[in-house]
A and B are shown apart, each in its own frame.
Chain A
Amino acid sequence: MDQPIAHAEAAVDAHHHEPQSFWTKYVFSQDHKVIAMQYMITALVMGFIGMVMSWIFRIQLAWPDHNLPFLRLLMPTNMESGTLQTPGYYMLVTMHGTIMVFFLLTAILTGGFGNFLIPLQVGARDMAFPYLNMLSYWFYFLSCVVITASLFVTTGAASAGWTSYPPLSALEKATPGSGLGQDLWLIAIALFIVASTMGSLNYVTTALNMRAKGMTLMRMPLTVWGIITAAMLGLFAFPALFAGAVLLLLDRHLGTSFFLPHLVVGGEHIVRNGGSPLLWQHLFWFLGHPEVYILILPAMGITSEVLSNGARKPIFGYKVMVGSIIAIAFLSFIVWGHHMFVSGMNPWLGFAFVITTLIIAVPSAIKTFNWLGTLWKGKIRFTTPMLFAIGFISTFVTGGLTGLFLGNSALDIPLHDTYFVVAHFHVVMGLSSVFGIFAGIYYWFPKMTGKMMNERWGKVHFWLTFIGSYGVFWTMHYLGFMGMPRRYYSYDSYQFLPPSMHTLQMVITISALIVGAAQLIFTLNFLLAWLRGKKAPNNPWQATTLEWQAATPPPHGNWGPVLPEVHRWPYDYSVPGASADFVPQTVPVEIEPSGEHHRVAAAVNGHGQTNGHGNGHHA
């Protein structure tokens, strides 16, 4: 078939597929950009719920058993007489962890950014399986509904911790939340895994199989590398937790003994047949540790993208960055035992996990070195996304260093049940991912919505979040070293805890409330910019990657009748001899007669776009 006919057919076909009704365009949409926004907004709402939960239990920790009647507005149950009750505390920390790890961070990084960026950055029209993509979001939405509904169960939501260790999670009478709330927790997680699997199949297949002409693997932006590697981790790690969830449900309701040994609880014999609670820990952490990298790898990709753009320099060591991503992904499957050093495992096995854990510091350090190399002598533009990307490096280094402490079993054993661990994983996994997410939102918001977010309020948001977060977690490290135990809802009656701990707890809570207030600023900025923001140009950051060559916001099918064609890697910033300090990936490379230098052939206009899609190829 000759090209003009193909061209015409593609245009007609694209028009034919354009959804017309409100329901197919905005609700049950199969367009990756709409699904991305659905994922993003749902995840942000879930994150807000998780954050409010942390405010309530932080207030309890700073002012134990203090009567705060106004909190009853936020939590009608478990707040009798204005004081948070013990079951309510455990419910809040459990649901905070669950919601933040799965329903906010995983969902927004892969479902939100993955959906929006992968087709646009590799030059595809949509995902490989758009229907499956739509199902992915609706399964995720359903899982959000189930986990949120569990908060309104009479006996309360799950309260066995976000890790749901048996026997606490397996015995219905263990805590109030071990009843229906725990069942709903398991069902929500199972639904979430189904959603994540459907999404991940799409992300990987699209990136590997639907790239535009010229988009070789080594020309893919690091964001795409980070997201698809995280998706692979999800595909091969989540099923272990799914299997665990099925077995735990059977233990709870059919009386099987997968995780429950014979127990005597409160004088009552729980007759079971030699099950092992540690079996759950193995299944959980086989997902649980890769999960950390499911969160951090996309954030690393976003950071690399924003840093190179903000420093106006090529990313330092691109191939090594890709290699490090793959190495981290591989190693993440063989380190799960470091979460179980205190489970009484054979010291030799513990030693093996120490070694693999410490090895993972090598590719992580390489990446950090390369980010610093990218910043070095760059013409840095301190935009809001750039500040958050730099903030990512800061928190990743801080959290990574304490990871070296905890990766050693000899140090982990005394520190494991203290605030030190809480501080470590919040900084390296939570904060770093959050900083990556904010960098990404501020950076791609113009392309997503066609509007610019307010830079001044963005910077206020950054500085309050950055300083406030260190106020929370720096302090928490000290509490950990002092021996402050995790999971205590009230601690003022223990003599081994000095009064100074109470002061530090107050510092943490006040800092957490400041960080919370900063997120309200972000929410307002986000909403106001979307509704009434300044119109965004096509390429406001003068960036090189493909998505900035699409219209703003990109239409259905992304590229019109002509697909873009890629001629160069994604980080051509400050190329010697170029008329602008960035060269988009669609600009052809011309070899000079000497064969030594590449020079920019096509002009780049003032809006940061090449002159038309003349270099594209027909769909």
Chain B
Amino acid sequence: MVTTLDKPRRRTQLPPLPPGGGNGWWDSSDDPQSLAVPSWQFGTWLGLGTLTVLFAALSSAYVVRIGGERLAFALPTTVWVSTVLLIANSIALIVARRAVERKDRRFVGWLWASFGVGLAFLFSQLVTWSVLAGQGLFVTTNPHSSFFYVLTVVHGAHVLGGLGALLRCWYHVRRRSGYQRLRRAVGMTATYWHFVDAVWLWIVLLFVWTSL
């Protein structure tokens, strides 16, 4: 049975829906001259566009730098564990977001699930790096290892940002910041995480491709 907002039984209940909506007093997103999407969503997409260029620049630098040379080492198995974890993360956030849209407060549990999976991903990354180091593959060893470390560390920094965004959602729940604000925070966080997860898939594909 779906537990709705109208029947708060547990500790983390959401505050009632405030009158109106939108971004705040300065927002005119109801206006016919605005885009179909709210500012926060548009801004998020635009920001992700910027991050796309960052990863595209690093990826193209990798392709140019190796000049057709094949990957000089085998990807550790933990890379696949990381991949599964991030796919699970995206699924958890899809469920969380849908729950928020339905005003089903079980979304909090899904956010924590996402947080746990994100942490697990970082741990599996640490294992991956230590496995590579154990094989004598360091950031200076060859261009493949250099770019592997750079791309995964830059990606890892974005995973940390995602964990911060999840904590911010939790903060809004605790503070009872209002449904619209919470919905916005969860929406932005989910969109961001899907992007981070997609970038991870891209990185893995890139290294699989250079090993062919």
Distance in angstroms from B157 CB to nearest chain A CB is 10
Q: Would you list which residues of chain A between 225 and 280 have a CB under 8 Å from chain B?
A: 235-240, 242-244, 246-247, 250, 254-258, 273-276, 279
A275 to B65: give the CA distance in the assembly, Å: 7
Q: Is the CB of A237 within 8 A of B53?
A: yes
Total A-B contacts with CB atoms under 8 angstroms apart: 131
Report whether A213 and B31 are in contact in the complex, using a CB–CB cutoff of 8 Å.
Answer: yes
Chain A residues closer than 8 Å to B37, beta-carbon distance: 209
Residues of B within 8 A of A239 (CB): 50-51, 53-54, 57
Taking the complex as formed, is B3 at the interface, i.e. its CB lies under 8 A from any CB of chain A?
A: no
Residues of A contacting B140 with CB < 8 Å? 254-257, 273
CA distance A413 to B126 in the complex (A): 49
Task: Please state if B25 and A125 are interface contacts (CB–CB under 8 Å).
Answer: yes
Total interface residues on A, using CB and 8 Å?
A: 54
User: Considering the chains assembled together, what is the distance between the CA atoms of A279 and B60 in angstroms?
Assistant: 10
A13 CA / B23 CA spacing, docked (Å): 13
- Give A240 to B59 CA distance when docked, in angstroms: 11
A299 at the interface (CB under 8 A from B): no
How many of B's residues come within 8 Å of A, CB to CB? 39
Q: Is B116 interfacial (CB 8 A cutoff)?
A: no
Q: Of B28, B29, B47, B146, which is within 8 A of A256 by CB? A: B146
Query: A124: CB under 8 A from chain B?
Result: yes
Cα–Cα distance between A216 and B25 once the two chains are bound (Å)? 21
Which of A200-208, A521-529, A569-577 forms part of the interface with chain B? A200-208
Q: Top 4 nearest A-B pairs by Cβ distance?
A: A239-B54, A13-B25, A243-B57, A239-B53
Evaluate contact between B28 and A211: CB separation under 8 angstroms.
yes
Interface pair B61/A279, CB less than 8 Å apart: yes
Q: Given that A197-B50, A275-B65, A619-B25 are known contacts, is A210 also in contact with B139, CB under 8 Å in the complex?
A: no
Q: A237 — which chain B residues lie within 8 A by C-beta? A: 53
A14 interfacial contact with B, CB 8 Å: yes
Residues from 10 to 61 in B contacting A, C-beta threshold 8 Å:
19-20, 23-29, 31-35, 37-40, 42-43, 46-47, 49-51, 53-54, 57-58, 61
- Residues of chain B contacted by A240 (CB below 8 angstroms): 53-54, 57
- B39:A211 contact, CB within 8 angstroms: no
The answer to whether the Cβ of B64 comes within 8 Å of any Cβ in the partner chain is: yes
B130 at the interface (CB under 8 A from A): no
A208 to B38, CA, bound (A): 11
Q: Give residues 133-153 of B contacting A (CB, 8 Å).
A: 139-140, 142-143, 146, 150
Quick check: is B208 within 8 A (CB to CB) of the other chain?
A: no
Interchain CA distance A243-B151 in the complex, whole Å: 10
With an 8 A cutoff between CB atoms, is A351 at the interface? no
- Nearest Cβ on chain B to A45's Cβ, whole angstroms: 28
- Residue A48 at the chain B interface, CB threshold 8 Å: no
Q: Within 8 Å CB of B139, what residues of A?
A: 250, 254, 256
Asked if A1 and B57 make an inter-chain contact with CB atoms under 8 angstroms apart, the answer reads: no
Let me know if A205 and B39 touch, CB within 8 A. Answer: yes
Closest-CB distance, B155 to chain A (whole angstroms): 13
Is residue A97 within 8 Å, beta carbon to beta carbon, of the partner chain?
Answer: no
Report B's interface with A, CB cutoff 8 A. Answer: 19-20, 23-29, 31-35, 37-40, 42-43, 46-47, 49-51, 53-54, 57-58, 61, 64-65, 139-140, 142-143, 146, 150, 154
A-B contact pairs, 13 of them (CB 8 A): A202-B43, A204-B46, A205-B39, A205-B43, A209-B34, A209-B38, A210-B27, A210-B28, A236-B50, A237-B53, A254-B140, A258-B143, A274-B143
CA distance A238 to B58 in the complex (A): 13
The interface centre, meaning the residue of A213, A239, A255 with most chain B CB atoms within 10 A of its CB, is A239
Contact A246 B35 (CB under 8 A): no
- Name which residue of chain B comes closest to A213, CB basis: B31
Residues of B within 8 A of A244 (CB): 57, 61
Q: A10-B25, A125-B26, A274-B143 are in contact. Are A216 and B33 (CB under 8 A)?
A: yes
Q: Does A128 contact B (CB under 8 A)?
A: yes
Query: What's the minimum C-beta distance from B153 to chain A, rounded to whole angstroms?
Result: 9
Interface flags for A104-130 (1: CB within 8 Å of B; 0: not) read: 000000000000000000001110111
Chain A residues lying within 8 Å of B53, measured Cβ to Cβ, are 235-237, 239-240
A532 interface residue, CB < 8 Å from B?
no
Report the nearest B residue to A287, measured CB to CB.
B57
Contacts of B33 in A (CB 8 A): 211-216
A314 within 8 A of B: no
Query: Are B65 and A235 touching (Cβ within 8 A)?
Result: no
A403 to chain B, nearest CB (A): 26
Instruction: Tell me the minimal C-beta distance from A286 to chain B in angstroms.
Output: 7
Q: Which chain A positions have C-beta within 8 A of B32? A: 213
Contacts of A563 in B (CB 8 A): 28
Complex: A346 Cα to B26 Cα, angstroms? 53
Taking CB atoms and an 8 Å cut-off, the chain A residues in 604-619 that contact chain B are 619
Known: A242-B57, A246-B150, A279-B64. 12 other contacts (CB 8 A): A13-B25, A14-B25, A201-B43, A210-B27, A210-B39, A236-B49, A239-B57, A240-B53, A247-B58, A273-B142, A557-B25, A619-B25
Q: Is the CB of B25 within 8 A of A235?
A: no
A165 CB, min distance to chain B CBs, angstroms: 16
| Closest residue of B by beta carbon distance from A16 | B25
- List chain B residues, Cβ under 8 A from A282: 64
**B19 and A1 contacting across the interface, CB-CB below 8 Å:** yes
Cβ-neighbour of A17 out of B25, B35, B49, B54 (below 8 A): B25
A residues less than 8 Å from B35 (CB atoms):
208-209
Q: Select from chain A the residue with minimum beta-carbon distance to B62.
A: A258
Q: How far is the CA of A557 from the CA of B20 in the complex (A)?
A: 20
Complex Cα distance, B150 from A239, in Å, reads 15
Chain B residues near A95: list those with CB within 8 A: none
Report if A51 contacts B (CB, 8 A): no
Give the complex CA separation of A209 and B39 in angstroms: 6
A283 lies within 8 A of chain B by Cβ: yes
Shortest CB–CB separation between residue B96 and chain A, in angstroms?
Answer: 23
Chain B nearest CB from A87 CB (Å) reads 29
Assembled-state Cα–Cα distance A211/B53 (Å): 28
Q: Which residues of chain B are near A130, meaning CB under 8 Å?
A: 26
Residues from chain B with Cβ under 8 Å of A276 in the complex: 64-65
- A247 and B150 in contact, given A236-B50, A240-B53, A279-B61 (Cβ under 8 angstroms): yes
